[in-house]
Amino acid sequence: MNKAATGIGAKAQIDFPCLEDGCDGIVKFNLSDVSSRNFQAVCPKCHKTYQLDGALRDKLGRMLELILAIRNSEDILGDSNVSVNVAGGEVKIPYALLLTRLNTLITLSVGDRKVDFHLWIEPSSPDTFR
């Protein structure tokens, strides 16, 4: 397991819809498992196996590193806002609210298809961003 995988301190699950025709299964796996050379994801419904090529594993590995960087910046992000201009001024949205309330997706090419990978991260602690 790489340094990023051990340093996250939480489970980072990723999932995508099975690409097999007629299957509506959701393929799920822990993002830190992708670094394993023999990693395979398996659809729980049709049992199709997915071996990720080096480029896709690299992108998912860098996503894990990004998550780790965000975790390491929690104290800064807790004080940060995103400003949205609206009629009559601006609205400040706490960055932490964006991280905890919005769904995170990464769209990657798998063969000749674009696939949305959904990312689910359990909080590092109950006090995250408070």
What's the pLDDT tens digit per position in 21-34? 999 999 999 888 88
Is 90 exceeded by the pLDDT of residue 18? yes
Model pLDDT, residue 86: 92
Mean of all residue pLDDT scores within the chain: 81
End-to-end Cα spacing for the chain: 30
b/e per residue 55-81 (b: at least 16 CB within 10 A): ebbeebbebbeebbeebeeeeebeeee
Would strands 41-42 and 81-86 be described as parallel, antiparallel, or unpaired? unpaired
| Token pair belonging to 35 | 């670094």
Model confidence band, residue 55 (pLDDT cutoffs 50, 70, 90) = confident
pTM: 0.69
